[in-house]
Amino acid sequence: MRVSAEVRGLIKEPYLQVHKENALGMLLRPGSMEFGPRRSALTRTTFNAGEMGLCTPHAEQWIGSADMEHLIVIISDGALAAACDGAGGSVELHPQWKMTDARLSSLLAAVNSERVAGFPSGRLFLDSVEQALAAALINGYAVRHRPVRTYRGGLSPVRLRKVKEFVHAKMEDELSLGELAQSVGLSTAHFAEMFRKSMGETPHQFVLRVRIERAKEMLRSAESRVLDVAIACGFKTQQHFARVFRQLCGATPTEYRGEFPRHVLPRSSEINFHEHNQQV
């Protein structure tokens, strides 16, 4: 999934725009744009903040002057195919030049917040949102109705253990939804749904929780700087680490560490030194 923001304003001449990918746009503030099927048939349409448009491959329209700022999210063919999970064939969506959809707008709002913050949550967050967007688009906007496959039950204990081991082993790395799914031999859509049924949370939420639990251990038992703890637990920045830590723990990492002033374990070299003195 590719994410960008675009501001459109006055132009000298209308132009024909031919889309090559499935793109979902959402207005970030109220605005308007001239567009239509022909150069001589442009109509100015007004949009409220949060209203959207869905552009699909080969769809075309003439574009004139505008006054708008919008978020643009490109949904990959792979995500759409994974949401169908074995239905076969390509997915064709019906273009929508102006639309409202509460589920889609809430997902795009989350993406925009992530963009504004500098994408601190990483690839797994965006992968998860893209998969949710793909499922919603297929269920609501496919040319031929292609229901997203649902699955009963969750992951087996063996698969669940493999996922947990994979996450712990790759704690410092940039994890993706595809890598987690591949670790247990499932498609991304299949894995995401079954994981949530097993754990009661999304893969991204689980990874954050595991990282924070590791961070708490490090903050209780080591003298590492908060920045070093953040990096060791897979966070891109200390600021993002502190924000997630506060959300899950109700305190900043520094405040949490301050609750254990007498529980900081000595380093191994210090233990050896004290043992040597006792023997002497």
**DSSP output for 67-118:** EEEEEEEEEPHHHHHHHHSS--S---BPPEEEE--HHHHHHHHHHHHHHHTT
In order of 49, 157, 160, 210, the CA distances from 185 in angstroms are 41, 14, 12, 22
Identify the three-state secondary structure at position 211. helix
* Separation CA 53–CA 95 (nearest Å): 8
Contact by Cβ (8 Å): 171, 211: yes
Q: What is the pLDDT of residue 152?
A: 62
Q: What is the pLDDT of residue 81?
A: 84
Q: What is the pLDDT of residue 260?
A: 78
DSSP 124-162: HHHHHHHHHHHHHHHHHHBSS--PPP--SS---HHHHHH
- The sign one gets for the Cα dihedral 117, 120, 121, 126 is positive
What DSSP element (H or E) covers 45?
strand 43-47
Q: Which two three-digit tokens encode residue 197? A: 């049924």
- The sign one gets for the Cα dihedral 84, 87, 88, 89 is negative
Instruction: Provide the residue-wise pLDDT of the chain in tens; the chain has 280 residues.
Output: 999 999 999 999 999 999 889 999 999 999 999 999 898 899 999 999 999 999 999 888 999 999 999 999 999 988 888 887 655 556 789 999 999 999 999 999 999 999 999 999 989 999 999 999 998 998 889 876 555 555 567 888 999 999 999 999 998 888 999 999 999 998 888 888 889 889 999 999 999 999 999 999 999 876 788 999 999 999 988 999 999 999 999 999 999 988 876 544 444 433 343 444 444 4
β-sheet bridge partners, residue 33: 45, 66
Strands 22-27 and 15-18, by their bridges, are unpaired
Q: What is the pLDDT of residue 78?
A: 86
Residue with tokens 């967007």: 133
Q: What is the pLDDT of residue 266?
A: 44
Neighbours of 120 (CB within 10 A): 15
| Of 229, 267, 5, 79, the residue nearest 240 (C-alpha) | 229
β-sheet bridge partners, residue 67: 32
Q: Which two three-digit tokens encode residue 154? A: 């969750």
* Separation CA 85–CA 148 (nearest Å): 8
Identify the three-state secondary structure at position 255. helix
Q: What is the pLDDT of residue 3?
A: 95
β-sheet bridge partners, residue 75: 22
* Separation CA 65–CA 113 (nearest Å): 27
